[in-house]
Chain A
Amino acid sequence: MASLKELKNRISSVKSTQKITKAMQMVAAAKLRRAQEAAESARPYAERMEGVLGSLAASMIGTPGAPALLAGTGSDQTHLLIVATAERGLCGAFNANIAKMARQTAAELTAQGKTVKILCVGRKGATALRREWGDNFIGEIDFQGVRAIGFAQAQEVTEKVLGMFEDGEFDVATLFYAHFKSVISQVSTAQQIIPAQFDASDEAAGPDLKGAVYDYEPDEEAILADLLPRNVSVQILKGLLENAASEQGARMAAMDNATRNAGEMIDKLTITYNRTRQAQITKELIEIISGAEAL
C-alpha cells in the first residue's frame, strides 16, 4: 500500500491539475461567448450573399459561358480538401472528429481513383493527417498568434485556394469544419465550396419582388463573376468562425469533464488516505497495548 506521504503528494498534484482544467474551462467559456457572437454576426452577410447568388445562379446555370466557379471545370478528377481545425489541443474529440471525416473522404475518393489534395488550415489537423496523407499535402496555413479570426484570415485562405483553382490544380473543393450547433454539440461538416452549390430552397426564400424584375448593373454575368470569388471567401469565413466557436465549445465541455473527473479522483484518494492513516494509528495502538501487556 502506498505510504501516507505518497498519497498526500498525489492528492495535491490532482488538485493542481483540477485548478488548471477549471481555469481553462472558464477561459473557454469567455472565449466561446465572443466566438459565438462573431459567428452569429457573420451570418447576415453570408445569408444575403447566398440569396442573391442563388437567384443569379439559377438563371445562369446550364448556359454556356457560366463561370467555372459556378459550373465547375467539367471534371471531378482532382479534389481539394480544405481541413479547418484548431491551433491547440485539449478540446476533446474536436480536432479528431474533423480529421476523421477528412480521412474517410480522402480514402473514399482515392478508392474511386480520384486525386486528392489536402490543404490544412490549423496546426492540429495537419498533425493528425500528416502520417497517413502527408504526401497529398499541398499546403498548410496556421493562424497561430491570431487572436480572433476575421475576414483577413479568410481572405488569405481564399487567395490561396482561388489561385490554385485558376491554375487548374483541382476541380472540386470541399471545406471541412465543425458546425456550431450548440455549446455541447458540434457537428463535423463537409461543405463543397467550388463549384458553388446553392440549395433550391434558397431561391424560393428569395426576396418578394412583387412581380417586378431585377435590373442588373453591370449585367448578370459580370456581377456573377465578381461575386463568386467573394462568395468563396465568405463561405470560408463562415466555416472558420463556426469552427472557432465549436472549438471553444468543445474545449469547455472537455475541461468540464476533466474538472469533474479530477474531483472524483480527489475524493477517492482522500478516502484511501484517511483509511491508511486510520490503519496506521490502529497498528501503533495495538503495538503499545501488546507491549504493555507483555510486561
Chain B
Amino acid sequence: MTNNLQFDLVSPERQLLSETVEMVVVPGMEGDFGVLVDHAPFISTLRPGVLVVTREGGAEERIFVRGGFADVTPSGLTVLAEDAVAVSDIDRADLDQRIKDASEDVADASSDDARMKAQAHLDALKELQAAA
C-alpha cells in the first residue's frame, strides 16, 4: 500500500509530467478539488486556473492549466490540459501585452458570440495574471 498518487499531466503536444506525488489540487469547473491516493473515480472538466502539485516532503509546484479535464481512476490522476505552463515560467510582460490584446478583442467583437469567446479568453488571462 503506497501513500502516493500517480499523477500524469498531458498536453496535446506532449506529456509534461508523470510522477508519483502526495496530492494534487485541481481547478475543477465547479470548484477546486484535492486528489489524494485512492480517490473515488471522478471526471471533471477544468476551468482556467492554477493546479497545485504537492510532492513528497511538501514541496509544491504551481502549474497554470487551461481547457481540458481531469480523470481520476484507481490507478491515479490524469489531467489533460490544452495549455499548461508552470507559474514560475510565466513571462509577465508578455502576459500584460496579451491581456491588452484580449481586452481590445472584447471591445471590438462584432457579435455576442464572439464577445463571449473573447471575454472567456480575457478572463483566463486575468486568472493567469492573478496566479503569477
Chain A interface residues toward B at CB < 8 A? 38, 41-42, 44-46, 48-49, 52, 56, 150-151, 154, 207-210, 212-218, 222-223, 226-227, 230, 233-234, 237
Contacts and interface: CB of A to CB of B under 8 A. Distances in A.
B85 interface: no
B41 A41 contact: no
The 3 closest A-B pairs by CB, nearest first: A41-B14, A207-B73, A217-B44
Interface in B40-78: 40-45, 67-69, 71, 73-75, 78
B29 A41 contact: no
B30 interface: yes
Nearest to B33: A217
Nearest to B18: A44
Given A52-B71, A207-B73, A207-B74, A45 B41 contact: no
B10 interface: yes
B85 to A, nearest CB: 13
Given A48-B80, A215-B41, 8 more contacts: A41-B13, A207-B75, A212-B41, A212-B74, A215-B40, A216-B43, A223-B43, A230-B82
Contact of B12 (A212, A217, A237): A237
B30 A218 contact: yes
B10 A45 contact: yes
A42 B12 contact: yes
B45 A151 contact: no
B30 A49 contact: no
B110 interface: no
Interface of B: 8, 10-15, 28-30, 40-45, 67-69, 71, 73-75, 78, 80, 82
A280 B72 CA distance: 84
Given A44-B15, A207-B73, A223 B45 contact: yes
B113 to A, nearest CB: 10
A48 B78 contact: yes
Contacts of A150: 13
Contacts of A233: 12
B14 A215 contact: no
A151 B82 contact: yes
28 contacts: A41-B13, A41-B15, A42-B13, A42-B14, A44-B15, A45-B12, A45-B15, A48-B10, A48-B78, A52-B69, A52-B71, A56-B43, A150-B13, A151-B82, A207-B75, A209-B41, A215-B41, A215-B42, A216-B44, A217-B28, A217-B42, A217-B43, A218-B45, A222-B29, A223-B69, A227-B45, A227-B69, A230-B68
Contacts of B71: 48, 52, 207
Contact of A38 (B13, B29, B30): B13
Contacts of B67: 230
A209 B82 contact: no
B11 A45 contact: yes
A59 to B, nearest CB: 12
Contact of A45 (B40, B73, B80): B80
Nearest to A226: B45
Contacts of A210: 74
Given A41-B13, A42-B13, A230-B68, A208 B45 contact: no
A154 B82 CA distance: 12
A217 B29 contact: yes
